[in-house]
Amino acid sequence: MPEGNGDRTIRVLDPATVNQIAAGEVVERPASVVKELVENAIDAGARTVRIDITSVQGGISAIRVTDDGCGMSSADAELAFTPHATSKITAIDDLFKIHTLGFRGEALASIAAVAKVTLVTKPRGGTTVAGIRLIVIGGVQKEKGETGAPQGTSIIVEELFFNTPARKKFQKNLNTELARIHGILEGIFLAYPQVSFRFSHNNREQLVTDRTTQPLDTIARIFGNDCTRELVPVSSDLPFMRISGYIARPALSRKDHDRILVSINDRYISSAAVMAAVREGYGTLLPRDRFPVAFLSLAIDTRLVDVNVHPTKKEVRLSKEKEIGEAVREAVHSALMKNDLIPEVVVPRQQNRALDSAGIVSARITSGVAEPVVPYDSGARVHQADATYDPDAFTAPARIEPTHTGTVSTDNRLRQTELASGVPPVPAVMPALDVIGQVGGIYILAAAPDGELIIIDQHAAHERIFYEQVSRSMAARHAQELLVPAIIHRSPKDASILRELIPVLAQEGVVIEDFGSGSFLVRAVPAVMGKIEGPEMIDDLVSDLLNSDPTRPVSDRERITRIISCRSAIKAGTVCTLEQCQRIVNQLRTTRSPFTCPHGRPTMVRFSRAKLDEMFKRT
Ligand code: ADP
Ligand code: MG
């Protein structure tokens, strides 16, 4: 029991202390002040909002937010600093139909409790000529008077955390704080395209948007045209929710989910459920460790959204979270399926004139791949998501004749994916292509009707075809007995993992029996793999299974499907005849998601006619 606390009577804390405690929740850091002030400006119906940050000696010295909104009367200006004083709700019922960003009446009181706040305001259509100026320091009103002011409100926050040294000390460095402010403002600017915003630091403009009716303009303003070029629209109407916005083609992936920006009822929020749903909507269009770029706005029946979970309202509680997540995933998925997702090869402008030693202009996929896509290990080591001409990258000579046995085995593999039944046809999302030839036993060159050159990775393409057959057709998964059962041997550790996988494997058509002491008998493989594979292949498949990371967020079944597809697909380095190449391309066209392999890497890239003209200086 602690000593020196003789007096244990319960006392009600004085208001100043209460406010400081509350302030700790709302006003964590400078960025929270910015968020609250800007949200107030929006709630006040502002058309233009300015955010000015001043810093000296590596610390933020002033935050000023100026708006042309409704302003406040003299009495309201004073009330605004009183805890739980708000003009936005009057009773508890209002909490379930909130259409403003604020409603708790906490922010101004909390900020003023830990800083010096200067408020200048003049109400819209007010009778007074002058505005009101009010200074509150540490929760105590210090000055009140009249001043010349334009209509609207300007709030300056200085000496933040002057009376809470602990909090002040924990502020990260200036750049971290500015980055947080930037991040918060990005979300708000996107959610309010109808407002003009201007954010500056020490009089230098950082982020500016102009009021517009086109959300795409705001996205372009913040993230640039390179981003908007890759976006496809999303829209979906459901009884309880409307989804709208834009998502990027898979080429524009990122290694963080920091560019999945979602607003719910015009409030920029973070909802793990919604973010996960967006990612799931991409399915195998993205490598497993990549995240998409998405700007979505959800209008949800306000009764289903509880924003009163946390003082900063950054998190919301959603009733029907599962349905909402499913709807988002479905909307994202169908938006992607509706669009041509072939990444375009572009010639970087500054390198336009740079010829390599061989005198060939090198091109890169830069349009979208914000960061390089991590190559995966599929036995197709040579291909990279980068079309830079690199002579060393080719393992096979550019032109070799197919061998007889090679052709027969390729034919078998192709027939396997042509015959598999029970896969319902889907409308083609990629153009019909005419194969021109094959390069290096890996890449198929093809022409699209509009004069585009398309390059296809044959392994990735056939892998996609296999994958869809296995995952979409029960028949493809039926077990087919091997004429001669194969025996495989495994170490005790592997054997115990494999033993656990036996039931899952059986569901996928791989029938394995445990023979004890590390031996297993493989009796059957999925019909789609058919007779093409010998026992080595089964052994490899099991190795892949044992080596693949079981912690990654896909089911065992998904893992098995991907491995089967990869193992059964035509390998890179297999020389195909022109006719075989054409068959691969035709089959690819019957898939739902022809643009990426099941690991999310591109199956094809395009040189548009315009790009080709540009490269040959015909423009
Ligand atoms: P809340 O936003 O939750 O109502 P705040 O403490 O942020 O609480 O603001 C208190 C009140 O002050 C608001 O309800 C509003 O009436 C008024 N107010 C704050 N900022 C502005 C502004 N920029 N323009 C007009 N009124 C404002
Ligand atoms: Mg507020």
pLDDT of residue 554: 64
Ligand 2 center–CA 41 separation, angstroms: 8
Taking the C-alpha atoms of residue 296 and residue 276, their distance in angstroms, rounded to an integer, is 13
Ligand 2 center–CA 293 separation, angstroms: 29
Taking the C-alpha atoms of residue 293 and residue 383, their distance in angstroms, rounded to an integer, is 25
Any residues with CB less than 8 A from the CB of 12 and at least 6 apart, and which? none
Closest protein CA for atom 13 of ligand 1: 86
pLDDT of residue 550: 56
DSSP β-ladder status, 231-238 and 48-56: unpaired
Residue 222 in contact with residue 186, Cβ under 8 Å?
Answer: yes
Residue of higher predicted confidence among 494 and 54 = 54
Taking the C-alpha atoms of residue 512 and residue 578, their distance in angstroms, rounded to an integer, is 38
pLDDT of residue 178: 92
Ligand 1 center–CA 135 separation, angstroms: 16
Q: What six digits make up the tokens of 414?
A: 């192709």
b/e map of 108-143 (b: 16 or more CB within 10 Å)? bbbbbbbbbbbbbbbbeebeeeebbbbbbbbbeeee
Taking the C-alpha atoms of residue 194 and residue 191, their distance in angstroms, rounded to an integer, is 9
Is the pLDDT assigned to residue 600 strictly greater than 70?
yes
- Sequence-ordered strand ranges (E) for 440-571: 443-447, 453-457, 479-489, 511-516, 519-526
Ligand 1 center–CA 515 separation, angstroms: 74
Residue 221 in contact with residue 208, Cβ under 8 Å?
Answer: yes
For the CA of 67, the closest atom of ligand 1 is 23
Which ligand has an atom closest to residue 71 CA?
1
Residue 576 in contact with residue 569, Cβ under 8 Å?
Answer: no
Residue of higher predicted confidence among 574 and 552 = 574
Which ligand has an atom closest to residue 107 CA?
1
Is the pLDDT assigned to residue 599 strictly greater than 50?
yes
Q: What six digits make up the tokens of 98?
A: 């909130």
Residue 567 in contact with residue 537, Cβ under 8 Å?
Answer: yes
Neighbour count for residue 275 (Cβ, 10 Å) = 20
The type of residue at 335 is A
Q: How far is CA 300 from CA 181, 262, 303, in A?
A: 27, 12, 8
Neighbour count for residue 487 (Cβ, 10 Å) = 13
pLDDT of residue 355: 43
The type of residue at 399 is R
C-alpha closest to that of 430 among 478, 465, 403: 465
Place of tokens 């197709």: 380
* pLDDT tens by residue, 506-531: 888 888 999 888 899 988 888 777 66
pLDDT of residue 562: 84
pLDDT of residue 222: 92
Ligand 2 center–CA 269 separation, angstroms: 15
Taking the C-alpha atoms of residue 283 and residue 277, their distance in angstroms, rounded to an integer, is 10
Closest protein CA for atom 19 of ligand 1: 40
Closest protein CA for atom 20 of ligand 1: 40
For the CA of 109, the closest atom of ligand 1 is 6
**Band of pLDDT at residue 24, cut at 50, 70 and 90:** low
Closest protein CA for atom 8 of ligand 1: 105
pLDDT of residue 563: 82
The overall average pLDDT reported for the chain is: 81
Closest protein CA for atom 21 of ligand 1: 40
Mean pLDDT within 107-118:
92
Is the four-CA dihedral 324, 326, 328, 331 of positive or negative sign?
negative
Mean pLDDT within 388-400:
44
Closest protein CA for atom 23 of ligand 1: 41
Ligand 2 center–CA 82 separation, angstroms: 12
For the CA of 155, the closest atom of ligand 1 is 23
Residue 47 in contact with residue 211, Cβ under 8 Å?
Answer: yes
**Band of pLDDT at residue 12, cut at 50, 70 and 90:** confident
Any residues with CB less than 8 A from the CB of 210 and at least 6 apart, and which? 196, 217, 221
DSSP state of 7: -
Residue of 73, 87, 101, 154 to mutate, ligand 1, most atoms within 8 A of C-beta: 87
Residue 301 in contact with residue 323, Cβ under 8 Å?
Answer: no
Residue 260 in contact with residue 308, Cβ under 8 Å?
Answer: no
pLDDT of residue 392: 40
The number of angstroms, rounded, from the C-alpha of 174 to the middle of its chain's C-alpha atoms is 27
For the CA of 105, the closest atom of ligand 1 is 8
* pLDDT tens by residue, 133-183: 999 999 999 999 999 899 999 999 999 988 887 777 666 688 889 999 999
* pLDDT tens by residue, 486-501: 888 888 888 888 888 8
Rg (CA), the chain: 31
- Would you call 578 helix, strand, or coil by DSSP? helix
C-alpha closest to that of 226 among 255, 252, 265: 252
Closest protein CA for atom 14 of ligand 1: 86
- Sequence-ordered strand ranges (E) for 179-220: 196-201, 204-209
- Would you call 215 helix, strand, or coil by DSSP? helix
Closest protein CA for atom 2 of ligand 1: 102
DSSP state of 373: P
Which ligand has an atom closest to residue 105 CA?
1
Closest protein CA for atom 7 of ligand 1: 107
C-alpha closest to that of 285 among 219, 225, 342: 342
- Written as one string, the DSSP assignment of 533-558 is --HHHHHHHHHHHHHS-TTSSS-HHH
Which ligand has an atom closest to residue 108 CA?
1
Residue of higher predicted confidence among 6 and 463 = 463
Is the pLDDT assigned to residue 359 strictly greater than 70?
no
* pLDDT tens by residue, 230-282: 899 999 999 889 999 999 998 888 888 889 999 998 888 878 889 999 999 99
For the CA of 80, the closest atom of ligand 1 is 12
Ligand 1 center–CA 122 separation, angstroms: 13
Ligand 2 center–CA 296 separation, angstroms: 24
Closest protein CA for atom 16 of ligand 1: 87
* pLDDT tens by residue, 317-335: 788 888 999 999 999 999 9
Q: Residues near ligand 1 with C-beta < 6 Å?
A: 36, 40-41, 43-44, 67, 69-72, 80, 85-88, 102-109, 153
Ligand 1 center–CA 291 separation, angstroms: 37
Mean pLDDT within 189-214:
94
The alpha helices in 204-320, defined as continuous H runs, are 215-223, 225-228, 272-282
For the CA of 108, the closest atom of ligand 1 is 6
Place of tokens 């090869």: 345
Place of tokens 């749903």: 277
pLDDT of residue 447: 94
C-alpha closest to that of 128 among 67, 77, 87: 77
pLDDT of residue 604: 92
Residue of 25, 42, 108, 121 to mutate, ligand 1, most atoms within 8 A of C-beta: 108
